[in-house]
C-alpha cells in the first residue's frame, strides 16, 4: 500500500494532538491552567502521585521538564511542596485550595471540548477511537522500550545493537 506521508496515522494523530492542545490551552488559560498541567493536577487530585518522580512517571515525561513545570506551578499558586517525612531528600506535592477549586471547571471545559469535536461520531465510534489510541500508545511504549534496551536487533543487523559493521 502506497501511503502519502501526510495521510499516515502518525502525521494525522500529530495534527489532531496539536489541534486539541490549541483548543485546550485557549479554554484553560482563563482558569489559570495549561494543558501540560493536567496530568499533574489529576494525579494529585486522585492521590496517584505526590513526589516529582511519581508525577514524571505518571505524566510520562522526564524529570528535568517535570521539575521546571512544578516550579512554574508552585510560582503560580497551583501546588505546594512540603518535606517528605519518610525521605528528607524528597518533597510531597499537593494541590493548593485555589487549584482544587478550579480543577472541576477545567475538567468540564476539556470534556466539553472532546464532546464538541466528536459530535459527528457515534458513541461506538468514539469508544473504538479511544480503545485504538490506547493500543497505539501501548505499542509505541513497547517499541520505544525495546529500542532503548541494549542487545535489541536493528533491522538488517545482528542481535547485538552495539555490533559494528
* Domains, in order of start, for the chain: 10-117 (1.10.10.10)
What is the per-residue pLDDT across 28-59, written as a single tens digit (0 to 9) for each? 999 999 999 999 999 999 877 789 999 999 89
64 touches 118 (CB < 8 A): no
Give the chain's largest Cα–Cα span.
60
Q: Which helix (H) or strand (E) holds 28?
A: helix 9-28
**Residue 27 scores a pLDDT above 60:** yes
What is the per-residue pLDDT across 125-152, written as a single tens digit (0 to 9) for each? 999 999 999 999 999 999 988 988 766 5
What is the per-residue pLDDT across 86-119, written as a single tens digit (0 to 9) for each? 887 889 999 999 999 999 999 999 999 999 999 9
**Residue 153 scores a pLDDT above 60:** no
Closest residue by Cα to residue 113 from 3, 12, 23: 23
First to last CA, the chain: 32
51 touches 92 (CB < 8 A): yes
pLDDT in the model for residue 2 = 57
Amino acid at each position: 500500500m502506497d501511503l502519502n506521508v501526510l495521510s499516515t496515522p502518525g502525521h494525522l494523530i500529530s495534527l489532531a494532538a496539536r489541534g486539541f492542545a490549541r483548543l485546550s490551552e485557549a479554554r484553560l488559560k482563563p482558569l489559570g491552567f495549561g494543558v501540560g498541567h493536567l496530568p499533574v493536577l489529576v494525579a494529585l487530585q486522585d492521590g496517584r502521585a505526590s513526589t516529582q518522580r511519581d508525577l514524571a512517571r505518571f505524566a510520562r515525561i522526564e524529570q528535568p521538564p517535570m521539575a521546571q513545570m512544578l516550579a512554574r506551578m508552585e510560582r503560580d499558586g497551583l501546588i505546594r511542596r512540603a518535606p517528605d517525612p519518610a525521605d528528607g531528600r524528597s518533597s510531597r506535592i499537593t494541590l493548593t485550595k485555589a487549584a482544587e477549586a478550579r480543577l472541576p471547571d477545567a475538567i468540564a471545559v476539556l470534556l466539553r471540548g472532546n464532546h464538541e469535536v466528536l459530535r459527528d461520531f457515534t458513541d461506538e465510534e468514539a469508544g473504538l477511537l479511544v480503545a485504538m489510541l490506547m493500543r497505539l500508545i501501548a505499542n509505541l511504549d513497547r517499541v520505544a522500550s525495546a529500542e532503548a534496551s541494549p542487545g535489541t536487533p536493528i533491522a538488517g543487523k545482528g542481535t547485538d545493537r552495539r555490533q559494528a559493521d
